Amino acid sequence: MATRIEPFGDEEKTMDLREHLRNTQDFFAYAVTHINGFPEKHRMSPARAVTELISAVETAIKWSKSKVARHWLNLSLQDLLSARASLESGQMPEVERHLGSAESFFEDACRGRRLTTDFVVGSDGTVRKPETTQEAPTRDARAETADDDADIP
């Protein structure tokens, strides 16, 4: 899928989802590194960086066909929204924490990390490990999974 977007600045560019994800990964790395002091020559601020990341992740959510990737992207977006709220209240340590967490969730989406269940809580409140016996996926399930992950780099 290619469309015209404005990814991080004023220049308009046509790109596909994979390129958009790579650019967003790079911008995450830049923002996390410089959130406490962007180089003056870049004319970037923490508020602008977080706003551009929110926009980039929202675009990735719209473009992604993978339910699993959208899950991770939505978690990333929630942390970015929390980072913006922390930024507005001047809590820089919280901004850094949320930004790092958002980047981690974004990376999970890009890597195609599967959702896993680490524990199950029963109705009586007891915690246990999930059952590990699973049937082998059917041919239809494998095909569906392959189609679901087709837009992940």
Tens digits of residue pLDDT in 8-65? 444 444 568 889 899 999 999 999 999 999 999 999 999 999 999 999 999 999 988 8
- Host domain of residue 59: 3-148
In a domain, 11, yes or no: yes
Average pLDDT score, the chain: 79
In a domain, 138, yes or no: yes
E strand intervals along the chain: 3-5, 13-15, 120-121, 127-128
Of these ranges, 14-23, 110-119, 139-148, the one predicted with the greatest mean pLDDT is 14-23
Please state the domain count of the chain: 1
- Rounded CA gap, 4 and 108, in Å? 25
- CATH number of the domain enclosing 13: 1.20.120.660
Residue 132's pLDDT is 56
In a domain, 88, yes or no: yes
Expressed in percent and rounded to 5, the helix, strand and coil fractions of the chain are 60, 5, 35
- Rounded CA gap, 143 and 151, in Å? 14
